[in-house]
Amino acid sequence: MCGIIGLLNKDGKRIDGRAIKRGLSIMNERGNGQGAGFAAYGIYPDYEDYYAIHVFLDNMKEAKTNVEKEIERWGYIVYSEEIPTNDIRTFEREQIPYRYFFKPDTRKLLGHNYDEKDAVVKMAMRINSKREGSLVFSCGKNMGIFKAAGWPEEVADFYRIENYDAYMWIGHNRYPTNTPGWWGGAHPFGLLDWSVVHNGEITSYGTNKRYVESFDYKCSMLTDTEVVTYLFDLLVRKHGLNPVLAGKALAPKFWKDIDRLPQKERLHHTALRMAYSSAELNGPFAVIVARSEGFIALTDRIKLRPLVLARKDKTVYVSSEEAAIRAMEPDLSELIYPTAGEPLVETLDVVV
Amino acid sequence: MNAKGSESILIDATGLDYRQLNKKVRGAVKDGKRNILISNVLGQRFIGDGIDKNVEIKITGTAGGDLGAFMDGPVIFLNGNADHAVGNTMSDGMIVIHGDAGDCLGHSMRGGKIFVRGSVGYRVGIHMKQFEEDYPTIVIGGSAQSFLGEYMAGGVILVLGIGRDEPVGSYIGTGIHGGVIYVAGEVDDSDLGVAAKADDVDEEDMKVINDLVDDYNLYFNRKVDTKGMRFTKIVPTSSRPFSNLYTNE
Amino acid sequence: MSSHYTPPKYDVSVDPARCRLCGRCIENCSYDVFRKSGDKILTYPNNCVVCHRCVAYCPANAIQIKKVSTPYRDHPIWNNEVRQDIYNQARTGKVILGGMGNIRNYPPIFDRLVLDACQITNPSIDPLREPMETRVYLGKKPKKLEFTGKGDDVELKTELSPNLKLETPIMIAHMSYGAVSLNTQLSFAKAAKNVGTFMGTGEGGLNQKLHDYTDNIIVQVASGRFGVNPDYINRGSAIEIKVGQGAKPGIGGHLPGEKVNKYISETRMIPKGTDAISPAPHHDIYSIEDLAQLVRSLKEATDWKKPVFVKIAAVHNSAAIAAGIARADADGVVVDGFRGGTGAAPKVLRDHVGIPIEAAIASIDQKLREHGIRNEVSVIASGGLRNSADVTKAIALGADAVYIGTAALIALGCRVCGKCYTGLCPWGISSQKQELVDRLDPEVGARQVQNLIEAWTHELKELMGAAGINSIESLKGNRDRLRGYLLDSNILDILDVKTVGA
């Protein structure tokens, strides 16, 4: 089932995690305690030039040594520590969340046709497919994902998200459809500064997964949502599509509607469907895809999953349920009901 | 519409999860309360679910999903927006929403009425049913999105489109085989679903529409005037639109 | 009679109580099974090929055809067929020729694959009332799209290559004018036009009567280059270079002289009555770089306005070959599995060479993905696709679209008797004798083929809807929606499909 939620302050004003915890908990009916998570942007201003690599470690011995060895093959660990957590009684502590502030070694890129961001992606894919006791679950600059197998309040308290100040938060309350709750399977899924939360099930997963894997992404999290992250990274970062076009590729208009568009738009939509046929997402979904500049909200073409957006002053909210938004902000100035399959993009008005 | 008797109760929903809240509501009904006021609702689901007494429930706040699901008789007034599946499989009674509502409102409705001041989402009135004179009614003041009246087998839907550029979406009445949908304004044939056709309204239709608009104006204190408004009616092309599809093994 | 006499396989009897002596059986049978003697119809069942023409046209239901067999002593390896083939070859010293597709008992992999449906975790979709899209574009696609501009005001910079637009993924396979009759081709052309799909000319050229339908016709350039002139390649909506076919991998087309009448002679530019043999390879393609030259030369000849596909038989190295074809500027790879049909092929090649289409498609799809180029070319599957379930599974294994050959012929009335090479087809489908060809009315034939494709397309939509998919792109290569039932782990690995229960 799942519940998703997000908020963005377009002026870059930061708030702590209490609001999103409150909003997400209203939707506990949509989850079943098998996973919850948050992504927060703007939380590491002192390390904003470094990639904040969040890792789950199975143990503090070989798992830690192995992952550090791999990270150091690609660059320098400038600072590292266990992510501060609380002891939550009702919560199985399966893994140790750790963070590394990392700078890629640009000398290692000479002679290769990939850049720094590609290097970080390759590093994360390698660690996650090798499975030597560690898993990278967040690897962007000045942002971080915090997730585990538990209820939103438990996960929020575990990670002490009230101690982080972010201009954008997204959150997820999980009711897994196909895999048991495990920390790696909780949302958000992240890659670089992308983070994705998703409600629904992707029936085209087999097609999408094979498409992204032919471009060196590796789906290792046993959850369909992971592929949405890689699709956005591929289409937006690697191919240079703007997020609205990427959204239109992933949730394309129906041919019956494309056939009636004026010539230029008809060409664009036809080209998107032709070139990106294997990127198209099918099945019920509502997703919030965040990156440093803001978020993209998208539903499937026949709106099988709910989504509502709202505004109050310079903050924009998005969630599966209006009540969850009102739990964060009771006094809203505008409610927006998205059209099925139409991407809604909200971005910062300032540079942070 | 007004419940008899002066037995009222105020329930504050703050901090209650839906099970706790609905238990109180059902308890109140059992206790003979005829007027139940619920304040500070924030996303609680299933309010009024399964209640079959003619009680009046007035709610302020944002209702969660399945408001009035399976109900058979009560009148629910909501001062705020509703979530998905309002009146899901309801048999009788009335729901009046001073706000907007989400997807699947009136899903499998079998009787009773729903009035929405504002707009609604996708798949509204899906699979509404009717038997002789027992039929459900849905009146929308604003707009409805696609798949309105999908699989409709009976009942009446009226969309007024007030203040909205497009009163309805696409695939209207797809699979309709009974009942009627009235939409204010013109409906493009390309927006009709399979097995649906658009017609002009006649005097009988206008009588039905005017009665419903009078009710709408009463509940929402508005002055919608059907004079000068054009309506399109959407009805089935046949009672068996898909019988020609199959051949025997 | 001789020492190698083969007893007849069938007994044909006419019930004298029912028979009206109308003589229709005599008129209709091409194989001289019936003759009138006094007030009786006598039969010579040795000639019967079970084409059913007599049974279909007898107004009194008086004809019965039974399978009879003079038993041989049972033997696990020296079975009847083996024995008879040896008698045949001892008598004649020749290569045994057969028609239609592989008759060996290899179990069809499609029959060991099952499809998924949605239950609870996501909804199935109703294809009647909700949108269900089966439109396919075949041809070269860009690796990525480049747009200039910002926000809503963008312009597409990337140039798109010409593609074919199909409203259904089912196309009608290439069957040459010569192998089949002109009325067969006309039936196909009309059906393709009405459905919004394409048919193939096969390697026999394009008869003038089909010129009105070329918006829905793919022209074939095979090793014999029959009928290939600038008009031909420019009229077609697309061009297919036929390198091989599943029924006879490694050899070229074969039209026996019996079927080369004056019209075939004119269209193919060969003498009347000679055998039209296409060479085994294209004699200008001895290596993959040569193929690239042919592809580009055809594109130059048509001003790069037509997609060019390359058809290969499914052989062991299909995946690598397909990758080479993709890099040779071809718009798509057509792969024909070992069940593919033919008008005439040496039996030993038809039955023992080539691999199943299921395995070929799966490995080609995978190989192209490994190279990061799968989304840039189209992959089309053919070879014994019998129903909409086969079509759906072929797409789930990685095909963009399919060709149906034998099934389309059956839609016209073919009984798959396998005697196409005699030129005596009593249905008018694979004969060139005018009195037989006239029996096939293209309007009726077109309606029948159109019915078949429409019925299968609807069933495909039902299967997609059951699996919660509403556009065919999301079914393509979606192995996760298939499961293997009683397939061994090796073949499951190749198909990249899990076993049932997993």
Nearest CA-CA distance, residue C439 and chain B, Å:
27
Long-range contacts of C450-456 (CB under 8 A, 24+ apart): C450/C190, C450/C191, C450/C194, C450/C195, C451/C411, C452/C407, C452/C408, C452/C411, C453/C168, C453/C170, C453/C172, C453/C191, C453/C195, C453/C197, C453/C404, C454/C195, C455/C388, C456/C168, C456/C170, C456/C387, C456/C388, C456/C391
Strand ranges (DSSP E) for C352-461?
Answer: 378-382, 401-404
pTM of the model: 0.92
| pLDDT of the residue at C227 | 87
Residue B66 lies in a domain: no
Cβ-contact B114, B131 below 8 angstroms: no
Q: What share of chain A is helix, strand, coil (3-state, %, to 5)?
A: 35, 30, 40
pLDDT tier, A1 (very low <50, low <70, confident <90, very high otherwise): low
Q: From CA C314, how far away is CA C73, in angstroms rounded?
A: 37
Q: From CA C27, how far away is CA C58, in angstroms rounded?
A: 11
pLDDT tens digits for range C314-349: 999 999 999 999 999 999 999 999 999 988 889 999
Cβ B147–C458 below 8 Å, yes or no? no
Q: What percent of chain C stands above pLDDT 70?
A: 100
Residue B226 lies in a domain: yes
Residue B167 lies in a domain: yes
- Pair of tokens at residue B216: 């709408």
With contacts defined as CB-CB under 8 Å, which chain B residues touch C128? 175, 194, 242, 245
Secondary structure tally for chain B: helices H, strands E: 2, 11
Distance, first Cα to last Cα, chain B: 55
For A137, half-sphere exposure in the C-beta direction (CA atoms, 13 angstrom radius) is 28
What is the residue whose two structure tokens read 């199943």?
A: C356
pLDDT tens digits for range C247-296: 999 888 888 888 898 888 888 888 899 888 888 888 888 888 899 999 99
Q: What percent of chain A stands above pLDDT 70?
A: 99
* C6-30: average pLDDT: 93
Range of the domain at B111: 100-242
Residue B25 lies in a domain: no
Complex-level ipTM: 0.90
Cβ A327–B43 below 8 Å, yes or no? yes
Tell me, yes or no, if A260 comes closer than 8 A to chain B by beta carbon. Answer: yes
pLDDT tens digits for range A68-125: 999 999 999 999 999 999 988 887 788 999 999 999 998 888 888 889 999 999 999 9
Residue of C495, C482, C490, C467 whose CA lies nearest to C113: C482
- By C-alpha distance, the chain C residue nearest A248 is C152
Cβ contacts of A87 within 8 Å, gap of 6 or more: none
Q: Is the pLDDT of residue C1 over 80?
A: no
- Pair of tokens at residue B172: 């209207």
- Structural element, H or E, at residue A130: helix A116-130
- Pair of tokens at residue C421: 């090479």
Peptide bond preceding A188: is omega within 30 degrees of 0, i.e. cis? yes
Residue of A330, A319, A278 whose CA lies nearest to A295: A319
pLDDT tens digits for range C182-193: 999 999 999 999
* CATH number of residue B178's parent domain: 2.160.20.60
pLDDT tens digits for range B187-241: 999 999 999 999 999 999 999 999 999 999 999 999 999 998 999 999 999 877 7
Q: From CA C139, how far away is CA C239, in angstroms rounded?
A: 11
Mean residue pLDDT of chain C comes to 94
Cβ-contact B192, B138 below 8 angstroms: no
Residue B44 lies in a domain: no
Cβ-contact C94, C421 below 8 angstroms: no
With contacts defined as CB-CB under 8 Å, which chain C residues touch A178? 121
pLDDT tens digits for range C91-148: 999 999 888 889 899 999 999 999 999 998 889 999 999 999 999 999 999 999 999 9
Cβ-contact A147, A187 below 8 angstroms: yes
Q: What are phi and psi of C361, to 5 degrees?
A: -60, -45
Residue B185 lies in a domain: yes
Q: Is the pLDDT of residue B119 over 90?
A: yes
Bridge-based pairing of strands B231-236 and B196-200 is antiparallel
Cβ contacts of C5 within 8 Å, gap of 6 or more: none
Tell me, yes or no, if A123 comes closer than 8 A to chain B by beta carbon. Answer: no
* Torsion of Cα atoms, C470 then C472 then C477 then C479, to 10°: 40
Nearest CA-CA distance, residue C170 and chain A, Å:
18
Residue B88 lies in a domain: no
In this structure, how many other beta carbons lie within 10 angstroms of the beta carbon of residue B220?
18
Mean residue pLDDT of chain B comes to 94
Which letter does DSSP use for residue A238 in this model?
I
Mutate to test the interface with C, among A277, A293, A302 (most CBs of C within 10 A): A277
Cβ-contact C309, C285 below 8 angstroms: no
Tell me, yes or no, if C473 comes closer than 8 A to chain A by beta carbon. Answer: yes
In this structure, how many other beta carbons lie within 10 angstroms of the beta carbon of residue A229?
25
Give the active site residues of A.
2
| pLDDT of the residue at C278 | 87
Q: Is the pLDDT of residue B1 over 50?
A: no
Distance, first Cα to last Cα, chain A: 34
The chains found to touch A (3+ Cβ pairs under 8 angstroms) are B, C
Q: CA angle, corner B41, sides to B37 and B46, nearest 5?
A: 90
* C76-88: average pLDDT: 90
* Torsion of Cα atoms, A140 then A141 then A142 then A148, to 10°: 20
Q: From CA B152, how far away is CA B174, in angstroms rounded?
A: 8
Tell me, yes or no, if A246 comes closer than 8 A to chain B by beta carbon. Answer: no
Residue B11 lies in a domain: no
Q: From CA A19, how far away is CA C7, in angstroms rounded?
A: 89
For B197, C99, C105, the CA distances from C339, given in Å and listed in that order, are 47, 12, 11
Q: From CA C499, how far away is CA C502, in angstroms rounded?
A: 6
Q: From CA C456, how far away is CA C462, in angstroms rounded?
A: 10
Give the total number of structural domains in chain B: 1
Cβ B175–C128 below 8 Å, yes or no? yes
Q: From CA C138, how far away is CA C150, in angstroms rounded?
A: 30
Tell me, yes or no, if C458 comes closer than 8 A to chain B by beta carbon. Answer: yes
Residue of B69, B9, B17, B66 whose CA lies nearest to B38: B9
List residues bridging with C13 in a β-sheet.
C64
Cβ-contact B128, B147 below 8 angstroms: no
Instruction: For residue B40, give the 3-state DSSP assignment.
Output: strand
Tell me, yes or no, if C468 comes closer than 8 A to chain A by beta carbon. Answer: yes
- Pair of tokens at residue C155: 């312009």
With contacts defined as CB-CB under 8 Å, which chain C residues touch A278? 374-375, 473, 476-477
